[in-house]
Homo-oligomer: A and B are copies of this chain.
Amino acid sequence: MPNAVALRQPLLAPRSVALIGQSNDAGKTAGRPLNYLRRAGFAGKIYCVNARRDTVLGERAYPSVAALPEAPDHAYILVPTEAVIAAVAECGRAGVKIATILAAGFSETGAEGMAREQRLCAIAAETGIRIVGPSSLGVVNLRNGLLLTANAAFAEPDIPVGRTFFASHSGTMIGALMSRGKARGVGFAGLVSIGNEVDLSIGEICSATLDEPDIDGYLLFLESIRNSAALRDFALGAAARGKPIVAYKLGRSAAARELAVTHTGALAGEDDVASAFLADCGIARVESLEALIEALPLVRRTPIRPVGARPPQVALLTTTAGGATMVVDPLAMRGVEIAQPSVDTFARFSTKGIVATPARIVDLTIAGTRYEVMKAALDILTTAPEFDLVVAVVGSSARFHPQQAVQPIIDSANAAKPIAAFLVPEAPEALARLSEAGVPAFRTPEACADAITAALARRQPKPAVAVPQGDGGRVLDELGAYALLDRLGIPRAPAVALDTTITQAPALPFDYPVAVKVLSAHIAHKTEAGGVALNVSNGDALVAVIKTMRETVKARTGITPDRVLVAPMISGIGEALIGYRIDREVGPLVMVAAGGVFTEIYRDRSLRLAPVDLPTAHAMISEVKAFAMLKGFRGKPAGNLDALAKAIVALSRLALQNDPAIAEAEVNPLIVRADGVVAVDALVRTM
């Protein structure tokens, strides 16, 4: 990544910075950066530019960027919205490498703002200047005093320095995470407020830091998924270096997605698409603010589990069963099982003289407050083959004897399995000790469960595929769609095309009753058009049905259909919907659902970036609740889920095909039978 390396220096280690529009009033937003930089001892040159004053806050002010003795590496543009374009243009002309823009009022504010944003992009293209923002509260590198920020929170004294890098769409959050991290014993290496991403994206900015030896993990606060290719590149680079990424993404609700649009001008896709994207990038997604701050050490310690592995099992070790159950509940709600140790494992407890009643929660009671008992129990559970992760829940002793209470956990930091500690009382000192030692530790049972779920759900990042390209989409008719299914190897119903003018039924290669569907690429909603007839029982009825259909469709749509498709009636144990599309935000996607009202009402579907392999397809099937109906429900036989999985894999491979390139393909329904699957309808649109 030569670009990334070139970007890093002016972005995060500039030799000189300019504060364009630095105010003389330290209390104003535009007055903050100079004092922050001075107080933090930033060693580079600092130039203030203010056309209306000779000095600001006691320092020399230059009238313009052109008047500066050198072109600074990085300019922070603090001027009002209307003056931003001119300031950035001046920086570009002068050879400034990075401009970070504070002002809002761009694409999020409608046509006028959108025009401003396009102007910014043009300046970047013309002059080579790179832009952070607009709406950026700034760029902070705590290792060199680069507090190039207007966020009020950075007036904080004694900001702790750590090894985590934080990038956020929201500028407020860089301050909030810094102050909340400080209280929780978590420090940062750097924090960047990304803003609207008109030029530099979260992915590019984070990629620029990947080879920093002082950074060993990333937190992201996302309002939407934008510039997904760069984000995926960054995620792959981070995975290659063993640097974990934890993300909190707003917009689980439709209401919040709508707000993301008004707030930053981003388009907001569906949340489960974003989830699938983040997961397939190997990014752990958490659902709460506390987990964003606390989850990284656990994600770092938890190996990615292979697709198709048995469901994860978590051991729960405690001195206080009442407190421990608070972790079980939110874990189980998220589908993670607290498992009872095996008979062998309990036998090892006995050997060590540890009293623990066989149960799901290993409750050492008060004996567990003794170092050697807790340490021995941790040793046994972290080496028991049945567990992927051990939760240690510590009671009152965490508050009164923080050192002793958590020392066995600290001394197990490098155990074979990750350990997550939850402290039942308020116990800031014990939490700080654990954090200092790099041990995953949690202040609330909910954040603990959130982080554990995210850590165990992490997947290997998938390499990006070249997105298929086409020359303008068209919808295939159903025969064309069937031909595509044939090429992909997805079984479909036999079908015969007949002219709508026939007066006698030909011999069919299958038995009656049959289904009749109008065959036209121009009629999207066949049922509404009167273009579907089912259970047609003989040749005479077939001719009559076709004649009526020709007339009804013509009357309803204005299109006279030339042909119909005739196929046998096929029934099965149940139905599935499988779909493929190139998503505007995240690229090729494959989806499976039960179809019908289940999918619409309950949003019960599973998504992955395409293509997928067979174990992944099986994992997808297991995520759809409605497929309980295909697993021997109420005495019915089971459907062939292998065949369903193979069909998902086949459809997902459209992501690798360019002839023709497919924008969208949906098989609905795919009939699931005991002996296989059969597509009985398909809709395909080329690119």
Taking Cβ atoms with an 8 Å cutoff, the residues of A that contact B are: 29, 151-153, 155-156, 168-173, 175-176, 179-180, 182-183, 223, 250-256, 258-260, 262-263, 288-290, 320-323, 325-326, 328-333, 337-338, 359-361, 366, 395-397, 399-400, 424-428, 444-446, 528, 597, 600-602, 604, 625-626, 628-629, 633, 635
- Least CB distance, A179 to chain B, in whole angstroms: 4
Asked if B597 and A444 make an inter-chain contact with CB atoms under 8 angstroms apart, the answer reads: no
Question: Dominant SS at the A interface?
Answer: helix
Asked if B322 and A259 make an inter-chain contact with CB atoms under 8 angstroms apart, the answer reads: no
Q: 15 additional contacts, CB 8 Å, given A152-B400, A251-B329, A259-B328?
A: A152-B396, A170-B322, A172-B320, A176-B396, A182-B426, A183-B428, A253-B331, A255-B328, A255-B331, A256-B329, A263-B321, A289-B446, A290-B446, A600-B628, A601-B629
| Cα A175 to Cα B398 with chains together (Å) | 12
| Cα A142 to Cα B63 with chains together (Å) | 66
Asked if A444 and B289 make an inter-chain contact with CB atoms under 8 angstroms apart, the answer reads: yes
| Cα A175 to Cα B176 with chains together (Å) | 29
Identify which of B180, B255, B320, B329 contacts A425 (C-beta below 8 A): B180
| Cα A426 to Cα B633 with chains together (Å) | 51
Which residues of B sit under 8 angstroms from A173, Cβ to Cβ? 322-323, 424
Asked if B602 and A332 make an inter-chain contact with CB atoms under 8 angstroms apart, the answer reads: no
| Cα A313 to Cα B322 with chains together (Å) | 36
Asked if A255 and B633 make an inter-chain contact with CB atoms under 8 angstroms apart, the answer reads: no
Asked if A29 and B328 make an inter-chain contact with CB atoms under 8 angstroms apart, the answer reads: no
Which residues of B sit under 8 angstroms from A330, Cβ to Cβ? 252-253
Interface centre among A171, A256, A428, A626 (most CB of B within 10 A): A256
Which residues of B sit under 8 angstroms from A633, Cβ to Cβ? 597
Which residues of B sit under 8 angstroms from A289, Cβ to Cβ? 326, 444-446
Closest Cβ neighbor of A334 among chain B residues: B253
Can you list 5 A-B pairs, Cβ within 8 angstroms, ordered by A? A153-B396, A170-B323, A180-B425, A260-B325, A446-B446
With A255-B332, A601-B628, A625-B601 known to touch, is A325 a contact of B425 (CB < 8 Å)?
no
Asked if A323 and B172 make an inter-chain contact with CB atoms under 8 angstroms apart, the answer reads: yes
| Cα A173 to Cα B250 with chains together (Å) | 32
With A179-B399, A597-B626 known to touch, is A252 a contact of B155 (CB < 8 Å)?
no
- Least CB distance, A162 to chain B, in whole angstroms: 15
- Least CB distance, A526 to chain B, in whole angstroms: 14
Asked if A152 and B397 make an inter-chain contact with CB atoms under 8 angstroms apart, the answer reads: yes
Asked if B262 and A359 make an inter-chain contact with CB atoms under 8 angstroms apart, the answer reads: yes
| Cα A142 to Cα B451 with chains together (Å) | 36
Q: Which 7 A-B pairs have the closest CB atoms?
A: A170-B322, A253-B332, A152-B396, A255-B332, A256-B329, A172-B322, A179-B426
- Least CB distance, A321 to chain B, in whole angstroms: 5
Identify which of B29, B171, B399, B425 contacts A322 (C-beta below 8 A): B171
Which residues of B sit under 8 angstroms from A361, Cβ to Cβ? 259, 263
Which residues of B sit under 8 angstroms from A288, Cβ to Cβ? 444, 446
Asked if A325 and B256 make an inter-chain contact with CB atoms under 8 angstroms apart, the answer reads: yes
| Cα A633 to Cα B596 with chains together (Å) | 12
Identify which of B255, B320, B337 contacts A337 (C-beta below 8 A): B255
Identify which of B153, B338, B425, B602 contacts A175 (C-beta below 8 A): B425
Closest Cβ neighbor of A321 among chain B residues: B263
| Cα A330 to Cα B628 with chains together (Å) | 29
